[in-house]
Structures are given as structure tokens and as C-alpha cells.
């Protein structure tokens, strides 16, 4: 089974296993898709109507089109709370205002955990949260730890889980049992395996780089001191897909070289495959809105691996949802942060 066949089959919804999740700041449903494929029923909340429309068109659960606030009523009947609070406040590519940014969604996420008291919660964010905003990150973890959870974090690279893209993101999990992050795979998926069949067959002339754009890219790469052109290489995974480098013709744009030597920006479907969205998953909105939905998403195949670990944690004999951890002691390590029972 090749990569395309795999994502098209593996991300189909599975038979329900009796666990319910809610995905806060759900976007177009990347993480929800992976959890549905493990048989977990997922509902979402997303303020962007086009992203919510994409979610509702492709997933079995319902996505509420709503801007979450501390006053938003959310059912407490969920076993799992998922979330990707807006990353712009913490992104190296943004202004890194962190807690002071009005897009900061963590107060809402923490409030939801406090009210729902799920068996397990998980959030994803950019690596930048651990650097200039490290103090706020530790504050978030301390608040969540006081609610009675063991908390662990790890930076995962999607390329280690079958996604044809180097994409490092922070994943933080709170639980009351034993959670093991998914082990990395031994095989790496390349750009060629993901989109090789599309490069010369789906040519949109509007995405072909003109001579002036080629010169602009060359000057950008010289100024950035790039040793090699930043075209996508068929024998390697892609660079990290972001909203900026797939939605607009910038110097850093994701681009492929055609067999005739011309270069072009990648298409919606190529970007989707590089993020591990299956071909049956379609996006709503303008082209730019669709690129943004893809660039903001958690790769569904990575989400599937995380969902497997979540199911293993919640179905183990050692799990007891009735036991809260009293008086947590915070221990900070290089890769994990755990709230221990005192």
C-alpha cells in the first residue's frame, strides 16, 4: 500500500469505541480526523465559518461555528478535550506577544478543563511556546496541574509518523494514568511519494513562477544565505508548511520544479497531501482560505498516532477517573513535565 492509498484508507471513520471528545479551536478538523479514525466521537468549536464548514462536510461529528469565550457553555459529557489554542501569540513567525495577545486561547482552554474534568486532555502549539514564552507555559501547566492531572509534554516531528513533512510542534497531555507518546516509525515518506503523480499533471498556469518571480526568489535566497534552492525535493520530506509559505507567492513559498524546468507554487491538493489529508477530504472557502486551513492544521496521520496512544491510556486497567491527584508537585525536565502525586 503506497502513501496515498494509506491516508485514504487509514483516516476513514472507525466503529465507535464509546469515547467522546471535544476539539476546541478545531480549524478544519485535522486532529479530529485522526481521532475519528480511532473510533472516538468528536465535536468541534471553530470561529472561522469556512473552516467549520470544511469540518462539517468531511467529519461525522458536528463543529459549532462560535468564538469561544469564558462564558461559552460546553457540555461536560466529554472524556477527552483536544485543543490547538491560536499559535500566533507564541509563534517565532509572529510577534510573540504570548499571554498579552488578545488571540491567546489558553484561558478558555483551562476553563473548559476545569468545567468538563475530562479523563484526558491534549493541546498542540508551536515550539516557540517553550522559549521566549517559557514562563507563561509553566504557568499554564501549573494551573492545569492543580486540577488533578499528570502532565507531560514533548516536541514531536510529524516526519517521524509518516507525514512527508518536517514539522515540529509541541504536544502537551494531561491524564490520570500512564500515557506513552507514540513511538516514531522507521520509514520516512518523501515528497515524491506524496505528490509525485500531481506535479506534471495538475498545472495551474497562474501558479507558474514568472521570470521576475524567479529573480525575486533568487534574491531572497541570496539574502537568506540559502546554500541550495528551497524547491521541494522529490526524494526528501517537505519543509514545514505554514499559512504564509503556501498561500502566497513569497520568496519562501513552497514550490515544485516541473519536468520542463519551470517552477510553480503547490496546489491545494498537493498541500493537503503533504499535511496527510486524504484525497476524499475537500476544503471550503476561497483558495487562500483553504491554504490557511491546511497550514494551520495538525497533520491527521500524526493525530491518528496520538489517538492510538490516548485510547491505550484510557482503556488500560490502571486507569481510574475517580482518583484526583492531590497537592501536585511540579517537576520540570528537558522533554517532559509531570505532575506527580505527593
Report if residue 166 sits inside a domain. yes
Do 163 and 272 lie in a common domain? no
Do 312 and 265 lie in a common domain? no
Do 107 and 145 lie in a common domain? yes
Do 173 and 209 lie in a common domain? no
User: What are the cell numbers at 96?
Assistant: 510573540
Q: What is the Cα–Cα distance from 292 to 88, expressed in whole angstroms? A: 13
Q: Name the helix (H) or strand (E) containing 10.
A: helix 3-10
Q: The domain containing residue 12 runs over which residues?
A: 3-187+296-340
- Give me the tens of pLDDT residue by residue for the chain, a chain 342 residues long: 999 999 999 999 999 999 999 999 999 999 999 999 999 999 999 999 999 999 999 999 999 999 999 999 898 899 999 999 885 545 455 444 444 445 578 999 999 999 999 999 999 999 989 987 789 899 999 999 999 999 999 999 999 999 999 999 999 999 999 999 999 999 999 999 999 999 998 788 899 999 999 899 888 888 887 777 789 999 999 999 999 999 988 888 999 999 999 999 999 999 999 999 999 999 999 999 999 999 999 999 999 999 999 999 999 854 444 444 433 333 333 344 444 332
Q: What is the pLDDT of residue 103?
A: 57
For 12, 238, 263, the CA distances from 235, given in Å and listed in that order, are 28, 9, 17
What domain count does the chain have?
2
Do 87 and 178 lie in a common domain? yes
Instruction: Indicate which CATH number applies to the domain containing 109.
Output: 3.40.50.150
Closest alpha carbon to 106 in 150, 51, 69: 69
Report if residue 76 sits inside a domain. yes
Q: What is the pLDDT of residue 221?
A: 85
Do 316 and 234 lie in a common domain? no
Do 109 and 220 lie in a common domain? no
Instruction: Indicate which CATH number applies to the domain containing 195.
Output: 3.90.120
Do 118 and 60 lie in a common domain? yes
Among 237, 256, 284, identify where a domain stops: 284
Q: Would you please indicate which residues are annotated as catalytic (active-site) residues?
A: 87
Amino acid at each position: 500500500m503506497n502513501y496515498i492509498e494509506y491516508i485514504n484508507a487509514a483516516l476513514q471513520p472507525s466503529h465507535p469505541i464509546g469515547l467522546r471528545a471535544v476539539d476546541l479551536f478545531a480549524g478544519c478538523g485535522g486532529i479530529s480526523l485522526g481521532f475519528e479514525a480511532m473510533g472516538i466521537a468528536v465535536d468541534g468549536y471553530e470561529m472561522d465559518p469556512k473552516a467549520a464548514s470544511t469540518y462539517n462536510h468531511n467529519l461525522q461529528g458536528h463543529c459549532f461555528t462560535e468564538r469561544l469565550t469564558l462564558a461559552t457553555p460546553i457540555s461536560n459529557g466529554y472524556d477527552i478535550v483536544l485543543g490547538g489554542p491560536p499559535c500566533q501569540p507564541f509563534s517565532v513567525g509572529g510577534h510573540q506577544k504570548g499571554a498579552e495577545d488578545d488571540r491567546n486561547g489558553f484561558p478558555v482552554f483551562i476553563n473548559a478543563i476545569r468545567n468538563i474534568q475530562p479523563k484526558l486532555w491534549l493541546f498542540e502549539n508551536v515550539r516557540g511556546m517553550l522559549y521566549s514564552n517559557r514562563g507563561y507555559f509553566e504557568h499554564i501547566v501549573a494551573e492545569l496541574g492543580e486540577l488533578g492531572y499528570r502532565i507531560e509534554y514533548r516536541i514531536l516531528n510529524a516526519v517521524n509518523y509518516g507525514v512527508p513533512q518536517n514539522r515540529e510542534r509541541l504536544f502537551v497531555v494531561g491524564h490520570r494514568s500512564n500515557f506513552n507518546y507514540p513511538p516514531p516509525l522507521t520509514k520516512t515518506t518523501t515528497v515524491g511519494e506524496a505528490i509525485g503523480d500531481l506535479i506534471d499533471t495538475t498545472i495551474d498556469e497562474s501558479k507558474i513562477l514568472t521570470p521576475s518571480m524567479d529573480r525575486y526568489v533568487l534574491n531572497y535566497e541570496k539574502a537568506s544565505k540559502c546554500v541550495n534552492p528551497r524547491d521541494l525535493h522529490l526524494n526528501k520530506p517537505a519543509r514545514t508548511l505554514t499559512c504564509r509559505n503556501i498561500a502566497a507567492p513569497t520568496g519562501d513559498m513552497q514550490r515544485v520544479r516541473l519536468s520542463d524546468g519551470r517552477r510553480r507554487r503547490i496546489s491545494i491538493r498537493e498541500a493537503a497531501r503533504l499535511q496527510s489529508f486524504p484525497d476524499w477530504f475537500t476544503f471550503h472557502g476561497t483558495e487562500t482560505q483553504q491554504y490557511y486551513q491546511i497550514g494551520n492544521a495538525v497533520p491527521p496521520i500524526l493525530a491518528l498516532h496520538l489517538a492510538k496512544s490516548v485510547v491505550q491510556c484510557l482503556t488500560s486497567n490502571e486507569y481510574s477517573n475517580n482518583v484526583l491527584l492531590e497537592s501536585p508537585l511540579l517537576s520540570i525536565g528537558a522533554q517532559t513535565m509531570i505532575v506527580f502525586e505527593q
